[in-house]
Chains A and B, each alone.
Chain A
Amino acid sequence: SQQGEEDPQALSIQEGENATMNCSYKTSINNLQWYRQNSGRGLVHLILIRSNEREKHSGRLRVTLDTSKKSSSLLITASRAADTASYFCATAMGNQGGKLIFGQGTELSVKP
């Protein structure tokens, strides 16, 4: 079963704009991770935020986590055409080893 629900399913923006993707989940987590997948490729890890963290940055990426609302958001600032990809959130529950449960993803298109 899929734990994460992502919103929106698809997002189209112009280069230079910011892109925000949201993820909601159902059960308590150890951490939440965001991955990027370019068409026809494997997934690439972007950022991991632990359950006791509220915000994390990595370059142009900003992730927030609200455990009371069981939700997370990924913000990509100053987007580039190369950011065009599918973005997935994945939740890890501490009692299940390394098992990740992925959402269905947000398809981001950045137009030059």
Chain B
Amino acid sequence: EAGVAQSPRYKIIEKRQSVAFWCNPISGHATLYWYQQILGQGPKLLIQFQNNGVVDDSQLPKDRFSAERLKGVDSTLKIQPAKLEDSAVYLCASSFGTGVGEQYFGPGTRLTVT
């Protein structure tokens, strides 16, 4: 089966600019996650969708980050305006069910904010 797709793979922007990331999960996976991974750390959950509803966005900086999952399939994550500390890899993952099973990760988008 095709894996989780993400684009772009790399992005360099200046601070205060905006950026958007796209994710296409594995077909049939109900749950989609966006993680932020800062260099040298483990991934941190930003937002979790179940179909097209938000389950958990407690760690999403809502003043600058937004995410949507229209029609319960693809998802976009946006940062506006970006700060230097947003430099990180943004990982998308999906899982089949709505429980606590394994997650399948995409290759990530490496964002550099200068």
Contact = CB atoms under 8 A, between A and B. Distances in A.
A104 B42 contact: yes
Given A43-B91, A98-B101, A2 B108 contact: no
Contacts of A98: 31, 33, 48, 55, 95, 97-101, 103
Given A31-B100, A94-B100, A98-B103, A42 B42 contact: no
Which residue among A42, A93, A94, A105 has the maximum number of chain B CB atoms within 10 Å of its CB?
A42
Nearest to A96: B56
A105 B45 contact: no
Given A103-B42, A104-B41, A45 B100 contact: no
Residue among A33, A96, A99 facing the most chain B CB atoms (10 A cut-off) = A99
B106 A42 contact: yes
A99 B48 contact: yes
Contacts of B61: none
A97 B55 contact: yes
A61 interface: no
A24 B88 CA distance: 25
Given A41-B107, A99-B55, 20 more contacts: A2-B44, A4-B42, A33-B102, A42-B4, A42-B107, A42-B108, A43-B103, A43-B105, A45-B103, A90-B42, A93-B100, A97-B50, A97-B56, A97-B99, A98-B33, A98-B98, A98-B99, A98-B103, A104-B40, A104-B42
23 contacts: A4-B42, A30-B100, A33-B102, A41-B107, A42-B93, A42-B105, A43-B91, A43-B93, A43-B105, A48-B102, A88-B42, A96-B56, A97-B56, A98-B97, A98-B98, A98-B99, A98-B101, A99-B48, A102-B42, A102-B44, A103-B42, A104-B40, A105-B42
